[in-house]
Amino acid sequence: MDFNFYDLYLRAGLSDPIAKSLDSITSSFIVLVLAFIVTLIFKKTLLVFFNQIAKRTKSNFDDYLIKNKVPATLSYFPGLFVLIWLLPNTLENFSVLKNPVSVVLDVIGALLTIGIIRKLLNSLKDFLKILPAFKDKPIDSYIQVFMIFVWFVGIITILSLLSGKDISAFLTTLGAMSAIILLIFKDTIMGFVASIQVTINDTVRIGDWITMKSCDADGDVIEINLSTVKVQNFDKTITTIPTYKLVSDSFINWRGMSEAGGRRIKRSIQVKVSSIKFIDENSISKYAKIQRISDFVSQKSKEIEDDNAKKGIDKSLMVNGRNMTNLGLFRRYALDYLETHPEINQDMTVMVRQLSPTPQGIPIEVYVFIKDKVWLNYEQIVSGIFDHLLASLSYFELESFELFGDKKV
């Protein structure tokens, strides 16, 4: 398309240089107005088109395209093509500007291309996050990795346009500067490699509960990106962990517990050694009244009595022969209590065991799994279990270890 106002300005009595200058200025202005009109038309057309598509389809992807302003960005391309096609031709009389304007328009085209790719990827990211299959995947990391590649290609292209040199020349220069680049982008490169390792090994997912004491993190992973992992702690604070630390440092991921059938209790009651004793025949009837162990006491008492009689054991001293102890009966009672507790998963380990003696007494450890894995409910159930067991100690004439100041009781 050729806009020629030169003859018109000459007939108006203007000199040749002025007529040529005004011809270029007028033509350039018309091209700019034309590009603006084309952009407006395409902007309204694309918005109407995408809105209609979004209303008629069940997919949410087109909604995210509109949300991330993909149609609005696309509408700039037709106007830009008009400028690239026509504007340099209107600057024939300003030859010094023709090449720079062409370069600037090409650079704008490259930036718009990067922008539309970024918005398309953001739309894809938002869409994938609502899908159950991708809800716990580090989509942000994938998008950031791809955008780094896009920006790399885009910047090399822009530098090539601005300098007029071939792209291969810049790649050669980058190779020579690789050591400096590695030093400047060390954290980014480490994060990139760590992000790939975390993804491939399935080390962490969004929604996982992790504990990392070195970073004071204890909570749910809410975001995984190229350089950082964000953890929302249980006090609602946010801890930001460099992604590479998930590879170089140790941490606890509680996902296995969440996916298993229960949340573990591994807690002990410290029993005073001085309160542990044998049970004589006069005390057996008292323990037989405890319904949970009444059958066990009767059966075990008969078994021990027969065995001692068979071996001719002198029972004038309790230490001779076989005997029941109040601690043994308490362990049996605690085990029966846990095996009949409705909140404990009986398909997993249910155990009450005695650990090695300590200065604070004999630890009697409860090792079971609670069905309800929600933290608040879990703590309430655990408290209820140990309330009962601690209160039951006195019925077995046992005492728990206590410390008041410097006095041990």
Does 321 map to a domain? yes
Distance from C-alpha of 22 to C-alpha of 385, rounded to nearest angstrom: 93
Give me the pLDDT at residue 178, please: 65
Give me the pLDDT at residue 409, please: 37
Say yes or no: 59 and 28 in one domain: yes
Say yes or no: 206 and 130 in one domain: no
**Hey, which residues does 271 pair with through a beta bridge?**
362, 400
Say yes or no: 238 and 181 in one domain: no
pLDDT digits (tens, 9 = 90+) for 270-283: 999 999 999 888 88
Tell me which residue range forms the domain holding 95.
Answer: 6-197
Does 327 map to a domain? yes
Q: How far is CA 282 from CA 93, 287, 288, in A?
A: 122, 10, 11
Rounded mean pLDDT, 58-76: 85
pLDDT digits (tens, 9 = 90+) for 347-396: 889 999 999 999 889 999 999 999 988 888 999 999 999 999 999 999 99
Domain end position, chosen among 152, 175, 197: 197
**Average model confidence (pLDDT) across the chain:** 82
Say yes or no: 32 and 46 in one domain: yes
Q: Select from 196, 212, 216, 217 the least CA-distant residue to 250.
A: 212
Say yes or no: 209 and 140 in one domain: no
CA dihedral 343, 349, 353, 356 (to 10 degrees): -120
Say yes or no: 250 and 314 in one domain: no
Say yes or no: 53 and 118 in one domain: yes
Say yes or no: 226 and 280 in one domain: no
Does 1 map to a domain? no
Say yes or no: 271 and 320 in one domain: yes
pLDDT above 90 (res 203):
no
pLDDT above 70 (res 20):
no
Does 125 map to a domain? yes
Does 343 map to a domain? yes
Does 317 map to a domain? yes
35 versus 18: which is more confidently predicted?
Answer: 35
Does 278 map to a domain? yes
Does 267 map to a domain? yes
Rounded mean pLDDT, 253-260: 75
- pLDDT confidence bin for 198, thresholds 50/70/90: confident
Say yes or no: 283 and 404 in one domain: yes
Domain end position, chosen among 227, 254, 281: 254
* CATH value at residue 206: 2.30.30.60
Say yes or no: 316 and 301 in one domain: yes
- pLDDT confidence bin for 193, thresholds 50/70/90: confident
Domain end position, chosen among 211, 235, 254: 254
Say yes or no: 53 and 156 in one domain: yes
- pLDDT confidence bin for 405, thresholds 50/70/90: very low
Distance from C-alpha of 139 to C-alpha of 145, rounded to nearest angstrom: 10
Q: How many domains would you assign to the chain? A: 3
Distance from C-alpha of 392 to C-alpha of 332, rounded to nearest angstrom: 12
